[in-house]
Structure 1
C-alpha cells in the first residue's frame, strides 16, 4: 500500500508543478522568508499579476500573435 501512496503523491506533485498550482505556495514562502513584514497578495491578485507578466512578455509564447 505504501508504494501506491508514493506513486499517487508523485503524480499529484507532478500535476501541480505542470499546471503551476504550486507557484503561489512557493511565492508566499519566498516572501515570508525574505521580507516577513511585507503583505502577501491574495491568490487571485498573484494570478492576475502572473498572467499580466506572461501577456507582456513576447518570448513567453502566451499569445499567438
Structure 2
C-alpha cells in the first residue's frame, strides 16, 4: 500500500510540474541566484505577468 501512495504522489508531483504549478518557486530560485536588485514579484504579480505575456505572445499550447 505504501508504494502505491508513493507512486501516486510522484505522479501528482510530475503532473503539477507539467502544468506549471512550481513555476513561481522556480522564478524565486532564479531571482535569488541571479542577484537581482529590488524585490521579487509577489505570487499574484508573477501569475498575472505570466498570463499577460502568454496572451500577447501566444505559443503552441493546448488551451
Please indicate the TM-score interval, normalised by the length of the shorter structure. 0.7 to 0.9
TM-score, length basis structure 2: 0.76
Name the counterpart of 1:23. 23
Structure 1 segments, 4+ long, off by >2 Å, are 3-6
Aligned match of 1:13: 13
Could you say which structure has the greater relative contact order, defined with CA pairs below 8 angstroms and 6 or more residues apart? 2
The alignment of Structure 1 onto Structure 2 pairs a total of residues equal to 61
Partner of 2:57: 57
Could you state the TM-score of these two structures normalised by the residue count of structure 1?
0.74
Identify the residue that residue 4 of structure 2 maps to in structure 1.
4
RMSD over aligned Cα, in angstroms? 2.2
- Give yes or no for contact 1:31–1:38 (8 Å, CA) kept in 2: no
Identify unmatched segments of 5+ residues in structure 2. Answer: none
Q: Report which of the two has the higher share of helix.
A: 1
